[in-house]
Structure 1
Amino acid sequence: MSSEEDRLKFLIEDAEKLHGHLGPFLVIGVRMGVIAQKTLKEKMHATVKAPFSTPFSCVIDGVQATTKCTVGNQKLKIENSKREITAYFKAPNPSKTLKITVNQKIVDEILRKFSEGASSEELAWEIVRKSEHELFEIETQ
């Protein structure tokens, strides 16, 4: 395992402790937060837009665990959506922003596999193994 894979595993375990269990949408949030940290390299504010229902809202805890943007410290805003799962990250410098949108095909695949009886843990590790390009559309400004 590379040091980057080790770090991701550690962050996922940390997020699982915060969230209470492991699941694919938690890992999606962790992966979003890792990309934001890697891209912006500084303290940030985040807005997560996702359906306010489980399992989709689990993305929020993944973002909180990796970025330390929380509702409590007022660095995280949450917006409800019907279907879309997108995170916006903004560094203090107004010229640094990042938009990460989850590929809807991935969401549909997760839901299909859930309906076929796949476990949350199994699907979480599938998300770990997917590339950023499979999971997300990433835009920087």
Structure 2
Amino acid sequence: MTLVKRSNDLFPAFFDDFMAKNWFASAGINNTMPAVNIKEGTNNFEIELAAPGMDKSDFQIEVEDHYLTISYEKKKHAEDKRPNSEFTQREFSYESFHRSFTLPKTANLEKIKAEYTNGILRLDIDKDEKLISKGKSIKIS
């Protein structure tokens, strides 16, 4: 399983600094990139995504042609609690992220389970029994 990344071999420091900047901060958009652990077992793959303080109903997980996408978007409103007040300006805030992975051909796309517990989104992806190489010993003659 591979993580889809951008390649910036030409000017890595420049692009890292440029891409790390939050260009949308003044617009009230907060894009985060959660950390991910990927494990491969004998019969499955497991993805753990650190996303504390989020609601599981705001996650979206899609698979198309062995391409897995995990995204999250939460719209927050800044509420004014004062009575008889009218807004002259009201700020909206959005939290969002988007992570994509290329799944190997051995991944069974029909058997993907997801759960969100204690700030960790876990995906369990079974391997297709027919595509798992069992291996064999070859006799030398």
Task: State the TM-score, normalizing by the size of structure 1.
Answer: 0.25
More strand by share: 2
Q: Which has the larger radius of gyration?
A: 2
Normalized per residue, the structure richer in helix is 1
The normalised TM-score by structure 2 is 0.25
